[in-house]
């Protein structure tokens, strides 16, 4: 079946513009995660959804970043008033079951990522 898809794959924008990054998880996957990966670094957790509920947004760097998943499927990560330091690979992942503290880990399946460049 189809894996996690993300669009656009590449986005170049000017400083100050807003961008919206889309993630389409594997069909039926309950949990959805956003990560950001700067050059030379590993992915860094941003936020997490179970169904449509945003369970944790503690990893979002500041209030210019927001995410939603209104129908419990597709998610959008929005960055307002982009800055050059926002340039990175933005990765989305999904897993089949809700992840609970102390529960067994479910495999997170990653999308291809969106490469964001802010000029």
Partner 1 sequence: AQRVTQPEKLLSVFKGAPVELKCNYSYSGSPELFWYVQYSRQRLQLLLRHISRESIKGFTADLNKGETSFHLKKPFAQEEDSAMYYCALRDANSGYALNFGKGTSLLVTP
Chain contacts with partner 1 (rule: CB under 8 A) = 3-4, 31, 33, 35, 40-45, 48, 55-56, 59, 91, 99-105, 107-113
Report the helix count and the strand count for the chain, using DSSP H and E: 0, 11
Token readout for 47 is 């936020």
Give the burial class of 33: count Cβ atoms within 10 A of its Cβ; 0-12 exposed, 13-18 middle, 19 or more buried: buried
Q: Which of 28, 105 has the CB closer to partner 1?
A: 105
Q: Which of 24, 82 has the CB closer to partner 1?
A: 24
Q: Which of 62, 107 has the CB closer to partner 1?
A: 107
CB of residue 101 vs partner 1: minimum separation in angstroms? 4
Task: Please check whether residue 97 is in contact with residue 114, taking contact to mean a CB–CB distance below 8 angstroms.
Answer: no
Integer-rounded Cα radius of gyration of the chain: 14
CB of residue 17 vs partner 1: minimum separation in angstroms? 27
């Amino acid at each position: 079946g189809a894996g996690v898809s993300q669009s656009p794959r590449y986005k170049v924008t000017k400083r100050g513009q807003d961008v919206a990054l889309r993630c389409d998880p594997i069909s039926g996957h309950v949990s959805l995660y956003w990560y950001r990966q700067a050059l030379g670094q590993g992915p860094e957790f941003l936020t997490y959804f179970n169904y449509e509920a945003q369970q944790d947004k503690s990893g979002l760097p500041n209030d210019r970043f927001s995410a939603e998943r209104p129908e419990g499927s597709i998610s959008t990560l929005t960055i307002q008033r982009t800055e050059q330091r926002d340039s990175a690979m933005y990765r989305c992942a999904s897993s089949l079951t809700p992840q609970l503290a102390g529960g067994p880990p479910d495999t997170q399946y990653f999308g291809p990522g969106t490469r964001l460049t802010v000029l």
